[in-house]
Amino acid sequence: MGRRSVGWPEYLVPLALVIFLFASPAAATLVLTRTTLTPPSLPLAPGQGITVVATISIIPSGARTFSQGHNLQLETDLAGARWSSVVYSDGIPADRENGQGRVFFLPGFVLSYTTNHDIAIEITVQGTVPAGNVPVTVMTVKELDNTGLPVAGGTIGIMEPVSAVSPVPTEQVTPGTTTPPVSPPPAHPSPSAARIPGFGWETALTGAGFLGLACALSGWGRKP
C-alpha cells in the first residue's frame, strides 16, 4: 500500500494565491536627513509666514524602492499651505509635483525604482503659523498602503514651538516741539567801511577847503 503525500487541499490553493497577490508589499523606510526653516528664529509667532524644506531618503525593504500601489500623504497645520516636491534618483531630479491645501498626496509610482537606485525626496511647504501657543505640526509625511491605511513605521512628523499670543504694540506718537527759527548773526562791517562818529567824508572835504584858503591868503600879501 503506497503512502499518500500530505499537501494543500485543492480548495485552499486559489485562496492562498489571492492572499499572496493582494498582500501589501513591505513598507519602505523613510529617513529624515535634513530640515530647513525660514526664517530660522524659534519659537514661531502666530500669523508669521514660514517655509519648511525637508529632505527624506527612502530605504527600500522589498524588490522596489517604493511600492507603486502606495502613496505618500503630506499634511500641515499651516494656513494657506503651498506644496512642492522634487524626487531625486541618484542625485538627479526625476519628478516634480505641486499642490496646495492642508493635505497633499504624492503618488507612489514616482518613487518606485529598482533597488540599485538611491531615491530621495525634497519637500517644501509654505504657509502661515496658526494662532495659539501650542506646538504646531509644520509637516507630516505618512505612507499609505493600497487600501488608504497608514503603514506601520512609515510616518515622519516635524513640529515647532509657537510663542504665546501677544497684543500688537501701539505706536506712541510724541507731540513734536516747534523750534523757533534761528536768526542769522548781525553782519559786522569790514574795517574799511567803519566810520568814526562825527568824522566822515563831508568833514574831511570841509577841512581841506579851509586849509587851501588859508594857504592862499598867507601868500597873497608877500612880495615876489
The size of the chain, in residues, is 224
- At 213, the pLDDT band (50, 70, 90 cuts) reads very low
Alpha helices in the chain (DSSP H): 12-22, 201-220
pLDDT one-digit tens code per residue, 11-20 = 444 444 333 3
Please state the domain extents for the chain: 23-160
Q: At residue 74, what is the residue type? A: L
pLDDT one-digit tens code per residue, 68-104 = 999 999 999 999 999 999 999 999 999 999 999 999 9
The pTM score is 0.63
CATH topology of domain 23-160: Immunoglobulin-like (2.60.40)
CA distances to 181, 187, 193, 194 from 184, rounded to whole Å, are 9, 9, 21, 21
Contact assessment for residue 58 and residue 114, using Cβ atoms and an 8 Å cutoff: no
- At 153, the pLDDT band (50, 70, 90 cuts) reads confident
Could you tell me the strand order of the sheet in which 79-89 lies? Answer: 29-38, 49-59, 119-128, 79-89, 92-100
- Give the whole-angstrom CA distance, residue 80 versus residue 50: 11
**Which of 86, 80, 73 shows the shortest CA–CA distance to 50?**
80
Q: Does 43 sit behind a cis peptide bond, omega within 30 degrees of 0 on the bond before it?
A: yes
- At 154, the pLDDT band (50, 70, 90 cuts) reads confident
Q: Does 184 sit behind a cis peptide bond, omega within 30 degrees of 0 on the bond before it?
A: no
pLDDT one-digit tens code per residue, 103-151 = 999 999 999 999 999 999 999 999 999 998 889 999 999 999 999 999 9
Q: Which cell numbers in the block locate residue 56?
A: 527624506
